[in-house]
Amino acid sequence: MSEANVKSFKGLGISRWLVETLNAMKIVQPTAIQSSCIPEILKGRDCIGGAKTGSGKTVAFGAPMLTRWSEDPCGLFGVVLTPTRELAMQIAEQFTALGSNMNIRVSIIVGGEDIVKQGLELQRKPHFIIATPGRLAHHILNSGDDTVGGLMRTKFLVLDEADSLLTDTFAKDLATCIGALPSKNKRQTLLFTATVTDQVRALEKAPSEGKPPVFIFETASMDKVAIPSSLKTEYILVPEYVKEAYLYQLLTCEDYQESTAMVFVNRTMAAEILRRTLHTMGVRVTSLHSQMPQQERTNSLHRFRANAARVLIATDVASRGLDIPTVQLVINYDIPSDPDAFIHRSGRTARAGRRGDAISFVTQKDISRIEAIEERINKKMGECDKIHDTAVIRKSLNKVTKAKRESLMAMEKENFGEKKIQRKRKNQKGFRSTD
């Protein structure tokens, strides 16, 4: 392929109508993963696409799928599976926007939504299904052929965030979903991820009879430096018992008082405590975690995207794939045990060449985790100098401690967490999650 072709979507072979739509969306120059993968997918090859977060993976698989679909736009054409509800909704929005001039029908099949309504939507024969494996598997096992029979005519299967989907967590539901689709010889399989694992590479080692070899795109620097050069990584040594005060001080310091920020925690309880505490302190904050009803999760994300809230407190349900260009700061309030989780979290900023900061709160028990992260990203973190101990103690410790105490009392009064316990009991009695 000539250099000239690489610089335009038209030269990649996608439909003219789609090039015009991309131009209208101000997406005019293909990224490396788009330039490499789109022509090969159009040739009918299965594909593994590995690239850093923010590199344009959705268009890399969406553009060739939409091009092929527009040549014969009838019936169910493609299924995209992804690990989180929020990412499924984002992908669906992108597909809907890209196919808006072609009357595209996209169905979102995720947990937390009305199952009956979803079943009726599936019966109306959407062109593309964007789903989480648990909920789609539920429909396959419990809905009739009128609802899911169209899956057997699917031309494309996409696993987005494939490294997460190809783990034991999703194994049973993923097997159910794939079992309802055409065999791998009769469909194209596209795996996209920011971290190419052995499970992802297994697609290459299982070639389909009569099909061209699997195409693999992996940025040359991916294993050496897993984060973009425009991302600055720093740490703050923090005593465990004053972490909330440090967080408040960092979010309101001169450098970040106007910044849009995502704060990652490891547990839903911590997310709720921080949201309430910061709200009491006057910060425009919202949260995103698994104990929230789906409508609240959706509303929270909309508020953050619209800058009605400038801080989002989240568990790892928000760590993958979400593209919110305004995010300037990521704070790892809790350090993840898996270094790859750090990569995904930090990838919510410094996307598509923009600059961004990732700051980690490090307590004494986190040292080994930080060392593992530094080894994984092949980069040493610098020490953040934005706040100092005396400033934290003088300005905010007493106020934050009081706000936290009030938050805990309110949560106890509301029995926060009781629904999770009840749901766990139901699952132990034989009920199955359909997230």
Query: Residue-wise pLDDT tens for the chain (435 aa)?
Result: 433 345 789 999 999 999 999 999 999 999 999 999 999 999 999 999 998 777 899 999 999 999 999 998 888 999 999 999 999 999 999 999 999 999 999 999 999 999 999 999 999 999 999 999 999 999 999 998 999 999 999 999 999 999 999 999 999 999 999 999 999 999 999 999 988 888 999 888 776 777 889 999 987 544 545 688 899 999 999 999 999 999 999 999 999 999 999 999 999 999 999 999 999 999 999 999 999 999 999 999 999 999 999 999 999 999 988 888 899 999 999 999 999 999 999 989 988 778 999 999 999 999 999 999 999 999 999 999 998 888 888 889 999 999 999 999 999 999 887 655 455 445 444 334 445
| pLDDT at res. 433 | 45
CA distance 311 to 285: 5
Question: Domain 9-218's class?
Answer: alpha beta
Tokens of 211: 């099909």
Q: Sheet of 106-109: strands edge to edge?
A: 106-109, 128-131, 78-81, 156-160, 188-193, 47-50, 215-218
- Please count the residues of the chain: 435
Tell me how far apart the alpha carbons of residues 114 and 53 are, in angstroms, rounded to a whole number: 31
Neighbour-count burial of 427, counting CB atoms closer than 10 A to its CB (0-12 exposed, 13-18 middle, 19+ buried): exposed
What residue ranges do the domains of the chain occupy?
Answer: 9-218, 231-412
Report pLDDT for 207: 65
Fold designation for 231-412: Rossmann fold (3.40.50)
The strand pairing partners of 262, in sequence order, are 312, 330
For residue 2, what pLDDT is reported?
A: 39
Residue 29: what pLDDT? 93
Cα 113 from Cα 95, distance rounded (Å): 20
Question: How far lies 277's CA from each of 180, 224, 269, 390, 410, in Å?
Answer: 47, 39, 12, 21, 11
Phi first, then psi, for residue 195 (nearest 5°) are -130, 110
